[in-house]
Amino acid sequence: MTTVASPSYRERLAYQAGLLGGICYLVSMLLIGGNIKTQPLIEEHIVNDQIKMLKQVLPAELYDNNPIEESQIITDSRYFKNPVKILVAKKGNEFSGAALLISTPGWGGIIQFILGLDANGEITGVRVISHKETPGLADKIELTKDNWILSFDGKSLSNTSAQQWAVKKDKGEFDQFTGATITPRSMVKGIHQGLQFYQSWHHQLNSTTPAQEESSQ
Amino acid sequence: MSSAEYGRIFRDGLWDNNVAMGQMLALCPLLAVTTTATNGLGMGLASMVVLIITNTIISMIRGIITPQVRIPVIIVLIASVVTLVDMAINAWMHQLYQVLGLFIALIVTNCAIFGRAESFASKNAVLPSIADALAMGLGFTWVLVAVGAMREVIGSGTLFAHASLLLGEHFAWLETVIIPNFSGVLLPLLPPGAFMALGFLIAIKRIIDRRVATRKKASQSSLPAMQNS
């Protein structure tokens, strides 16, 4: 063990304040540097993840455009507090479906998911992008952990009634998980609201002229 | 430092003064993530990496920190190291981040990292501090894996489920189904189950420690000349 004998100037308030301030300064410089260095890479990963997700939720034969480039952002507080990003799929310049990037509150935080829909409003796929749910209990919403998320495929507002859009515990159609009801419940609710959102904005997306809310990325 | 002292460091970390079983620290991440053995392993390894980095930095600057400001300095350093590790893994090891991302942010809640910085690294040279971090990290990891395995086997009937997501494809052999078509028991998967599993482990440790102590006493009284063997 080495105990360094502390010189007397170290007992002064100025030294201690300076030390604390200096370390905070150094550390914030490091954090800023780290952020500048990693931010573009992290953003790139997020875009790549979106492309990968898009391929999973919208069948490739459904579109021939680049839906990520033709995205719109719409905020509709009737359904979601956060803005919804819509990737519009077109085939031969004809509207053929969309993928909605939705954030909905879960049990441990925001659940972000992508909802693929064809022109008739039928679900072609759902995947969770990010979530903060309990690992081991509620992370079965991820496809890597469980097939649960596939139970939404083919559902729509017309083939599943409003009452059926609930977990089995609430007399609905969809399974809950052992030990986690809130997460599947909020997923079912989020997807149901996503469908309603799609229904009310469907026509605007359908028009060939770009909407006012358009933001190309 | 002699090799006997390094031996002591590892004994402390792995058994005698184990983070979770001896010091009773780091219970927040322990209870939160150990629903499977794989999660326990991921959390343990991530904590160990952070612990090694923070112990190294703090033992390097231990000469200039005064006791009056050491606590805020250590907290700032640990929080920043965790943030930097989080950003670095997200940017350069994105595959790993998708599996470990959840754990890294939770490391900040691990008071054992602060505990080692404060009680060991701020008083010792760099090499022993690294050894201490390694020993404490390994000790924490094995307890996490043990608690995770107990909860997973009883709760879901599997062991090391999804290990290939964390460690890569060639570790797929670790994934075993102990009880096929098992519908699951809820209790071990909920936080009380984690307390029970940990309590069980601590009880076993106490029993073993007591046996060792009585045996030592017995051999010391009968063979006083060989007590150092």
Q: Is B53 on the interface with A (CB under 8 A)?
A: no
Sequence-distant contacts of B117-120: CB under 8 A, at least 24 apart? B117/B54, B117/B55, B117/B58, B117/B74, B117/B77, B117/B78, B118/B70, B118/B71, B118/B74, B120/B55
Question: Which residues in chain B have Cβ-Cβ distances shorter than 8 Å to A5?
Answer: none
What DSSP assignment string belongs to A74-94? E--TTT-SS-EEEEEEEETTE
Question: Which residues in chain B have Cβ-Cβ distances shorter than 8 Å to A132?
Answer: 102
Mean of pLDDT over chain A: 84
Question: Which residues in chain A have Cβ-Cβ distances shorter than 8 Å to B124?
Answer: 1-2
Q: Is residue B55 pLDDT above 90, yes or no? A: yes
A132/B90 touch (CB, cutoff 8 Å), yes or no: no
In the three-class reduction of DSSP (H, G, I as helix; E, B as strand; rest coil), residue A67 is classed as coil
Residue B74 in tokens = 């250590």
Q: Is A24 on the interface with B (CB under 8 A)?
A: yes
Question: Which residues in chain A have Cβ-Cβ distances shorter than 8 Å to B192?
Answer: none
The predicted structure's pLDDT at residue A4: 53
User: Both ends of chain A: CA-CA distance in Å?
Assistant: 59
- CA B6/CA A87 separation, integer angstroms: 59
The predicted structure's pLDDT at residue B60: 93
Question: Which residues in chain A have Cβ-Cβ distances shorter than 8 Å to B165?
Answer: 144
The predicted structure's pLDDT at residue B183: 67
Shortest distance between the Cα of A213 and any Cα of chain B, in A, equals: 31
* Residue of A3, A27, A132 with shortest CB distance to B77: A27
Q: Is B165 on the interface with A (CB under 8 A)?
A: yes
> For the segment A73-116, what is each residue's pLDDT rounded down to a tens digit?
888 888 888 889 888 888 888 888 899 999 999 888 899 999 99
Q: Is residue A10 pLDDT above 80, yes or no? A: no
Q: Which residue of B has its CA nearest to A3?
A: B123
The predicted structure's pLDDT at residue B229: 45
Q: Is A132 on the interface with B (CB under 8 A)?
A: yes
> For the segment B94-114, what is each residue's pLDDT rounded down to a tens digit?
877 877 777 787 888 788 889
Q: Is residue B199 pLDDT above 60, yes or no? A: yes
- CA B104/CA B50 separation, integer angstroms: 9
Q: Is B33 on the interface with A (CB under 8 A)?
A: yes
Q: Is B76 on the interface with A (CB under 8 A)?
A: yes
Label residue A1 by pLDDT band (50, 70, 90).
Answer: very low
Q: Is B169 on the interface with A (CB under 8 A)?
A: no
Q: Find how far residue B31's CA is from the centre of its chain.
A: 12
The predicted structure's pLDDT at residue B126: 93
The predicted structure's pLDDT at residue B188: 85
The predicted structure's pLDDT at residue A150: 92
The predicted structure's pLDDT at residue B73: 92
Q: Which residue of A has its CA nearest to B166?
A: A144
Is residue B142 within 8 A of residue B14, CB to CB? The reply is yes
* Residue of B91, B183, B189 with shortest CB distance to A38: B91
More confident residue, B108 or B213: B213
More confident residue, A84 or B166: A84
- CA B119/CA A48 separation, integer angstroms: 44
Is residue A113 within 8 A of residue A128, CB to CB? The reply is yes
The predicted structure's pLDDT at residue B129: 95
* Residue of A35, A144, A145 with shortest CB distance to B87: A35
Q: Is A135 on the interface with B (CB under 8 A)?
A: yes
Residue A51 in tokens = 């492309």
What interface predicted TM-score (ipTM) does this complex get? 0.74
Distances (CA, A) of B173 to B162, B178, B209: 10, 13, 34
Question: What is the torsional sign of CA A59, A62, A66, A72?
Answer: negative
The predicted structure's pLDDT at residue B222: 67
Q: What is the pTM of this model?
A: 0.73
Q: Is A179 on the interface with B (CB under 8 A)?
A: yes
> For the segment A105-150, what is each residue's pLDDT rounded down to a tens digit?
988 889 999 999 998 889 999 999 888 787 667 888 988 778 999 9
Q: Is B94 on the interface with A (CB under 8 A)?
A: yes
Mean pLDDT score, A35-58: 87
Cα torsion at B166, B169, B174, B179 (round to 10°)? 90
The predicted structure's pLDDT at residue B130: 95
Q: Is residue A214 pLDDT above 50, yes or no? A: no
Mean of pLDDT over chain B: 86
